[in-house]
Amino acid sequence: MTYSIIPVLRREYDDGEYKAISTTKSIKVTRFSSCELLAERVLESILDKLLIYFLKGVNIELFIMGRPWLNSDDFNVKFS
């Protein structure tokens, strides 16, 4: 099974509103994916966004959102 994950940073503002920023494009992950490589890729994408959005010193939460990755082979559709 292949999954597509996307790391998201979320910040809460003083008025209780939240703003979320996805840190990178989706990443394909399988059970054979290297944990170290995945962690390095997520960390690099977070550090890039911290600099772009000036989030240094701000309380943020990290969410890893995921879903199964669908390939055309997963569908039983006959093409004419």
Q: Which residues contact 10 (CB under 8 A, 6 or more apart)?
A: 18, 19, 20, 21, 60, 61, 62, 63
pTM: predicted TM-score of the whole model, two decimal places:
0.68
Q: What is the pLDDT tens value at each position of the chain, 80 positions in all?
A: 788 888 899 988 888 888 888 888 888 888 899 999 999 988 988 888 877 887 777 788 888 888 877 665 555 555 55
